[in-house]
């Protein structure tokens, strides 16, 4: 009898964590490495949020909370959805969890039976297919293309849906591509879903506040209210308020689903950290100038990185609408020979030779289900980004 659960055989370790680990190892050996693998803002949590947490500790808000979260936070979440997304949710239709990750996991745990399919546009965030697999479902990748700006088309969605499809997972702006859908693009997908009444939508809007230029963020239940009854709208404070370590994510949706997720969470972690929940109340209800300021900084970095990558030989980098990632193609460099003498056959070879030759750590696209590409996280200073892009230019110029 095997000791480890069968479910583990269906799961891959996170490629993004593996890259960060490799970069750390090389650094500890004294190598000069620039890590562009991490998916978290390099800013500190705003002071008003930290202060709210300290005040919560001093008030003695240090006990178990209700499983789905403290009422003031759930009310703040309902108010946020109304204010920013024009979505009407009662606070009882909301749930708070230990990071956005737990919201997603528990939604899958609460709904998937063996054989249920979940459509995931690729490139996708590495955890979606793994979570689906752990929960016994079958991830179904629906490919996008660089020509379509890495966005799922109505045709590709229609093709991916079968009688076994339970969910479509949407993520706009996207990790890893930064692609974000306009209202028209969402409406085209919603029209397909209207013809498939059994398919639910989980929309991961984690990067909502990070969109650039005159792009305006929309979420699917807002664009097509007929989908409201089968949409779980998920979000969190991690990326928008530089609160990755506080571990607060949230969602709103039909009451029956929220109750099922509450039941699972009640047998698992129970309520999220009480202090972090009070901090999140301040993040959502307090001044929002932090968000606008960082958005402007990220936009400058995006423009720098896109421009420098497009000057690198053989690299094609579309301009993403949001998040803090770019997802350039290295297709033209496949088949070339690296300074080590090895031939670059895949995007995984490309990133490993780049790390070896120039000490720049990025993540290969095939880990996100679409390549040959690579993901750069530009959540780091302009000076480091400029240096990293110079090294990438030098590396691609050296390929024979």
Ligand X SMILES: Cc1ncc(COP(=O)(O)O)c(C=O)c1O
Residue from the set 110, 166, 168, 204 that interacts with ligand X by CB under 6 A: 204
| Positions in 99-138 near ligand X (CB under 6 A) | 99-101, 125
Q: How many helices and strands (H and E) does the chain possess?
A: 13, 12
CB nearer ligand X, residue 111 or residue 203: 203
Q: Is 39 in the site for ligand X (CB under 6 A)?
A: yes
Smallest gap from residue 256 Cβ to ligand X (A):
23
CB nearer ligand X, residue 39 or residue 149: 39
Smallest gap from residue 90 Cβ to ligand X (A):
23
CB nearer ligand X, residue 120 or residue 344: 120
Residue 337, strand partner residues: 343
Residue from the set 249, 253, 318, 322 that interacts with ligand X by CB under 6 A: 249
DSSP string for residues in 321-350: SBTTEE--B-GGGTT-B-TTS-B--SHHHH
Strands 34-35 and 231-236: unpaired
Residue with the shortest CB distance to ligand X: 99
Tell me the H-state helices in 195-288. 220-223, 255-266, 274-285
Q: How many residues does the chain have?
A: 400
Tell me the H-state helices in 135-237. 154-160, 183-194, 220-223
Q: Is 321 in the site for ligand X (CB under 6 A)?
A: no
Smallest gap from residue 53 Cβ to ligand X (A):
16
CB nearer ligand X, residue 238 or residue 352: 238
CB nearer ligand X, residue 81 or residue 395: 81
* Residue 357 token pair: 């030759």
Residue with tokens 């095997």: 2
CB nearer ligand X, residue 100 or residue 322: 100
Query: First CA to last CA across the chain, in angstroms?
Result: 52
Ramachandran angles phi, psi of 349, nearest 5°: -65, -40
Smallest gap from residue 171 Cβ to ligand X (A):
5
Nearest to 131 by CA among 73, 172, 171: 171
Smallest gap from residue 173 Cβ to ligand X (A):
9
Smallest gap from residue 203 Cβ to ligand X (A):
11
Smallest gap from residue 124 Cβ to ligand X (A):
9
Residue from the set 132, 170, 192, 206 that interacts with ligand X by CB under 6 A: 206
Nearest to 17 by CA among 346, 377, 354, 269: 377
CB nearer ligand X, residue 171 or residue 380: 171
Smallest gap from residue 15 Cβ to ligand X (A):
13
Contact 326, 302 (CB under 8 A): yes
CB nearer ligand X, residue 85 or residue 396: 85
DSSP 203: E
CB nearer ligand X, residue 18 or residue 334: 18
DSSP 108: H
The 3-class SS string of 53-75 reads HHHHHHHCCCCCCCCCCCHHHHH
| Positions in 279-318 near ligand X (CB under 6 A) | none
Q: Is 45 in the site for ligand X (CB under 6 A)?
A: no
| Positions in 85-104 near ligand X (CB under 6 A) | 99-101
Smallest gap from residue 245 Cβ to ligand X (A):
9
Ramachandran angles phi, psi of 45, nearest 5°: -60, 140
| Positions in 167-196 near ligand X (CB under 6 A) | 171, 175
How many positions of this chain bind ligand X (CB under 6 A)? 13
CB nearer ligand X, residue 102 or residue 153: 102
CB nearer ligand X, residue 130 or residue 387: 130
H/E segment holding residue 25: helix 15-28
Q: How many CA atoms lie within 13 A of 111 on its CB side?
A: 31
H/E segment holding residue 114: none
Q: What is the rounded distance in angstroms from the CA atom of residue 20 to the CA atom of residue 38?
A: 7
Smallest gap from residue 206 Cβ to ligand X (A):
4
| Positions in 215-244 near ligand X (CB under 6 A) | 236, 238, 244
**Which positions touch ligand X (CB under 6 A)?**
39, 99-101, 125, 171, 175, 204, 206, 236, 238, 244, 249
């Amino acid at each position: 009898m095997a000791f480890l659960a069968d479910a583990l055989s269906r799961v891959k370790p996170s490629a993004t964590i593996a890259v960060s680990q490799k970069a750390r190892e090389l650094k500890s050996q004294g190598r000069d490495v620039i890590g562009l693998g991490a998916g978290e803002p390099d800013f500190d949590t705003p002071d008003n949020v930290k202060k709210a947490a300290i005040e919560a500790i001093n008030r003695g808000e240090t006990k178990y909370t209700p499983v789905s979260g403290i009422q003031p936070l759930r009310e703040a979440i309902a108010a946020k959805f109304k204010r920013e997304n024009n979505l009407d949710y009662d606070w009882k239709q909301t749930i708070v969890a230990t990071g956005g990750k737990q919201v997603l996991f528990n939604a899958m745990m609460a709904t998937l039976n063996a054989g249920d399919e979940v459509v995931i546009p690729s490139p996708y965030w590495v955890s979606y297919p793994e979570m689906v697999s752990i929960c016994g479902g079958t991830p179904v990748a629906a490919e996008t293309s660089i020509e379509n700006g890495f966005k799922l088309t109505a045709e590709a969605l229609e093709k991916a849906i079968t009688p076994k499809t339970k969910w479509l997972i949407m993520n706009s702006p996207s990790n890893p591509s930064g692609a974000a859908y306009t209202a028209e693009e969402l409406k085209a997908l919603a029209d397909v879903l209207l013809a498939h009444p059994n398919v639910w939508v989980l929309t991961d809007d984690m990067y909502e506040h990070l969109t650039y230029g005159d792009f305006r963020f929309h979420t699917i239940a807002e664009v097509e209210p007929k989908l409201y009854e089968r949409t779980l709208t998920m979000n969190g404070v991690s990326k928008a308020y530089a609160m990755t370590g506080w571990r607060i994510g949230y969602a709103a949706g039909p009451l029956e689903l929220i109750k099922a997720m509450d039941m699972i969470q009640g047998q698992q972690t129970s309520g999220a950290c009480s202090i972090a929940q009070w901090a999140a109340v301040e993040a959502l209800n307090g001044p929002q100038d932090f968000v606008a300021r960082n958005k402007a900084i990220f936009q400058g970095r995006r423009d720098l990185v896109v421009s420098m990558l497009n000057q690198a030989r053989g690299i094609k980098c579309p301009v993403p609408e949001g998040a803090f990632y770019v997802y350039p193609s290295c297709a033209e460099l496949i088949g070339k020979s690296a300074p080590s003498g090895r031939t670059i056959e895949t995007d995984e070879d490309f990133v490993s030779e780049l790390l070896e030759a120039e000490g720049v750590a990025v993540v290969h696209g095939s880990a996100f289900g679409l390549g040959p590409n690579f993901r750069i996280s530009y959540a780091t200073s302009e000076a480091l980004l400029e240096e990293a892009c110079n090294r990438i230019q030098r590396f691609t110029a050296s390929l024979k």
